[in-house]
Amino acid sequence: MAAEIGQLALILAFLTALFQGAAPLLGGQFSTSPLQASIRVATLVQGGLILIAFLCLTYVHAISDFSVVNVVENSHSAKPFAYKLSGVWGNHEGSMLLWALILALYGAALAVSDRASTLKTLTLSVQGMIASAFIAFILFTSNPFARSFPAPADGMDLNPLLQDPGLAIHPPFLYLGYVGFSLTFAYAVAGLITGKVDAAWARAVRPWALAAWVFLTIGIALGSWWAYYELGWGGFWAWDPVENASFMPWLAGTALIHSLRVVEKREALKVWTVLLAILAFSLSLVGTFLVRSGVLTSVHAFAVDPTRGVFILAILAAVTGGSLLLFALRAPLLQSHATFQPVSREGAILLNNVFLVTACATVFIGTFYPLFIDVLTGTRISVGAPYFNASFLPFMALMLVFLAPGAALAWKKGRLKATIGRLWPALAAAGAIGVIAAWLSWPGPIAAALGAGLAIWAGGGAIVDLLIRIKAFSSPPGAAFIRAANLPRAYLGMTIAHLGLAVVIIGVMGAGVWRTEIVRFMAEGDVISIGGFDARLERVIVEAGPNYTAERAVFSVEREGAALRDLTTERRFYPVRGMQTTEAGIWTMARGDLYLTLGEKSEAAGWAVRAFFNPFAVWMWIGAGLMALGGGVAATDAPRRLMRRAPTIDPGAAIAAPQGAST
């Protein structure tokens, strides 16, 4: 019964979304209040209907209703309850329904927030068009409510790699990010239609762009974290097409949240910002196309179906093609009168955008190169991590060089030498740490030491600038603290996020370059030494889980003879799918992770054990958390300070204003 209710709700949601998208075309007058009200109501109704459909699917998964194909293919009666719930989106059909749900929730959130305006009505309408396309996609190609006759006695279980807390919550965050960019996209299209892309437009868009960026940051970090502890190879990023698919919108989105600030403060870079908004969402769609169509092989691939690929390509053509056509027609009308010197905050943000978009392009080319070559010549090649590291990392390094001084420059016209001069403590610390890192890691790659130095420069620069701004060096602590509390949220958020980026980079250098690895056979009682620790294999026990059996190895970890703690690692076997997973034993410390995995048993030699020491690994997740926190803080920035500022400013006043008076 629940499946039929869900099916019906989905069909009604489709019709409502059609109305929501088409109403302005029929009515013509965006500013009339009946139209505004009806679109607002349609948005909320559509959201409610999708929610009902989603709850119905959750219900059939929760009660293991094996008369529904989706449940049969992705669940098993013995599966833990939490994974019965996460199994709702652990498959193609359910994840697309989650996509539609999040799209609808964003629409509903916009509908209830803020007051009605032409811009908002148009934006909701564009959301409706996107929603109707995706609900149609679900209804016609990926119906999650299809019944199976006769109902089998039990299901085929969920892929064991997905039966994990990290991966259970990873897709919702990722989709909150991907889909969040639908709203900034809708705003961009609405802005092109009205021809008004100004400070007010940017103020309306910025919180949504930041929210999407924060969620995407968390989603990517969760995915990387999951790969790190679940796949058992000690790595965290593999430049896999699906990872790239989430990374490209993130890069474009990062550029967008920066350039939006320029539109908001100075009403410059309008055309560019609109293009970035289109780009960020288009790349989200490309990611969906990539994952669902099977044009590229990937470890993440969902069940692949060419019909779905064609459908998503059609959506992509309509959304991106349509918006770019609108862009070609309308963007030339977006006038920008603001001028700025190359050396200024605007200039720095433009430079940051160039680096980010170029880096995004290198990832794009690397991801799709195999496809391009296949189409042109019929042969297939693969592009590996070396390409990405060689092409992507230099742009990131250049970006880091300019990050600290760029963020500390004044708007409109800044002084580069003076700014760098102010940040000298960060520069000194960066140089010192770079040299020390190079010395300690010698003969390791010098590039990693350079990366660490750049991270200190970027993060330290952010801190020094903050300290100067609150006059921490020249006023009593209380006064400095009050100044800090009164800093604009946008500035605080930026500082936290930049600091987070620096922390991430140190983690990446540590776990990516400086890690050590040993593999050897161990009998019970043997000791393996790595990273200054000695791990003794105490015992291996066989245990039965709810839907798996596990071999669990217990290690006792010692350092210089002193026992510190136990560390357990498991190898699980899931009989229904015939798959094995590793549950790495990880001891996380600030200086690095001790990472142990258990392998096959050889009768003669004992258990194969793989041990890693990954310096600073936890810094990656902490840094990503800081970046997300920074984005969140910036999103709460109150626009009151900006209201007072007229779009045109007397140039003399801006030059005379002390640096740091504004963000």
Partner 1 sequence: MKRILFLVPLALFVVLGIYFAVGLTRDPSHMPSALIDKPLPEFDLAAIEGETRGFATSDLDGEVALINFFGSWCISCIIEHPVLMDIAAREGVVIAGIDWKDKPGAGKSWLDQRGNPYVFIGDDPSGRTAIDFGITGAPETFIIDHKGRVRYRYAGPITPQIWQRDLKPLVEKLRKEGDDAP
State the residues that interact with partner 1 by CB under 8 A: 231-233, 235, 238, 240, 271, 275, 278, 282, 289, 293-297, 299, 306, 309-310, 313, 316-317, 320-321, 324-325, 327-328, 331-332, 368, 370-372, 374-375, 379-382, 519-521, 577-580, 597, 599-600, 602, 608-610
Distances in Å between the Cα of 624 and the Cα atoms of 121, 161, 196, 207, 258 are 35, 23, 35, 19, 18
Least distance to partner 1, CB of residue 193, Å: 15
| Rounded Cα distance, 331 and 195, in Å | 8
Q: In this complex, which beta carbon is closest to partner 1, that of residue 518 or of residue 563?
A: 518
| Rounded Cα distance, 44 and 11, in Å | 16
In the structure encoding, which two tokens stand for residue 150, read together? 């006769």
Q: In this complex, which beta carbon is closest to partner 1, that of residue 180 or of residue 232?
A: 232
Least distance to partner 1, CB of residue 299, Å: 5
Least distance to partner 1, CB of residue 600, Å: 4
Least distance to partner 1, CB of residue 276, Å: 11
| Rounded Cα distance, 519 and 52, in Å | 51
3-state helix, strand, coil split of the chain in percent (to 5) is 65, 10, 25
| Rounded Cα distance, 562 and 612, in Å | 20
**Buried-exposed string 591-618: b where 16+ CB fall within 10 A, e elsewhere:** ebbbbbbbbeeeeeebbebbbbbbbbbb
In the structure encoding, which two tokens stand for residue 247, read together? 């990374």
Least distance to partner 1, CB of residue 131, Å: 22
Task: Tell me which residue has tokens 């410390």.
Answer: 589
Hey, how many other C-beta atoms are within 10 angstroms of the C-beta on 248? 24
Give backbone dihedrals phi and psi of 300, rounded to 5 degrees, phi first.
Answer: -90, -5
Question: In sequence order, what DSSP letters do the residues of 213-242 get, joined into one string?
Answer: HHHHHHHHHHHHHHHHHHS-SS-S----HH
Q: In this complex, which beta carbon is closest to partner 1, that of residue 55 or of residue 314?
A: 314
The arrangement of strands across the sheet holding 606-615 comes to 516-522, 606-615, 592-602, 585-589
Least distance to partner 1, CB of residue 352, Å: 20
Q: In this complex, which beta carbon is closest to partner 1, that of residue 233 or of residue 402?
A: 233
Alpha helices by DSSP H, listed for 442-550, are 446-469, 477-486, 489-512
Least distance to partner 1, CB of residue 516, Å: 13
SS3 string of 577-620?
CCEEEEECEEEEECCEEEEEEEEEEECCCEEEEEEEEEECHHHH
Q: In this complex, which beta carbon is closest to partner 1, that of residue 275 or of residue 409?
A: 275
Q: In this complex, which beta carbon is closest to partner 1, that of residue 4 or of residue 517?
A: 517
Least distance to partner 1, CB of residue 291, Å: 13
92 contacts 292 by C-beta, under 8 angstroms:
yes
| Rounded Cα distance, 568 and 587, in Å | 10
| Rounded Cα distance, 514 and 528, in Å | 19
DSSP β-bridge partners for residue 572: 550, 581
Least distance to partner 1, CB of residue 317, Å: 6
290 contacts 304 by C-beta, under 8 angstroms:
no
DSSP β-bridge partners for residue 554: 539, 568
Q: In this complex, which beta carbon is closest to partner 1, that of residue 240 or of residue 566?
A: 240
96 contacts 138 by C-beta, under 8 angstroms:
yes
Q: In this complex, which beta carbon is closest to partner 1, that of residue 390 or of residue 436?
A: 390
Q: In this complex, which beta carbon is closest to partner 1, that of residue 22 or of residue 301?
A: 301
Give backbone dihedrals phi and psi of 242, rounded to 5 degrees, phi first.
Answer: -75, -35
Q: In this complex, which beta carbon is closest to partner 1, that of residue 371 or of residue 649?
A: 371
| 13-325-323-119 Cα dihedral, nearest 10 degrees | -90
Nearest-CA neighbor of 315 among 211, 171, 185, 120?
Answer: 185
Question: In sequence order, what DSSP letters do the residues of 390-447 get, joined into one string?
Answer: HHHHHHHHHHHHHHHHHHHSPSSS--HHHHHHHTHHHHHHHHHHHHHHHHHHTTS-HH
Distances in Å between the Cα of 117 and the Cα atoms of 110, 114, 123, 240, 335 are 12, 9, 10, 43, 22
Q: In this complex, which beta carbon is closest to partner 1, that of residue 96 or of residue 274?
A: 274
Q: In this complex, which beta carbon is closest to partner 1, that of residue 59 or of residue 521?
A: 521
The enclosing H or E element of 566 equals strand 562-574
Q: In this complex, which beta carbon is closest to partner 1, that of residue 27 or of residue 322?
A: 322
| Rounded Cα distance, 329 and 70, in Å | 44
Q: In this complex, which beta carbon is closest to partner 1, that of residue 422 or of residue 572?
A: 572
Q: In this complex, which beta carbon is closest to partner 1, that of residue 181 or of residue 411?
A: 181
Least distance to partner 1, CB of residue 179, Å: 21
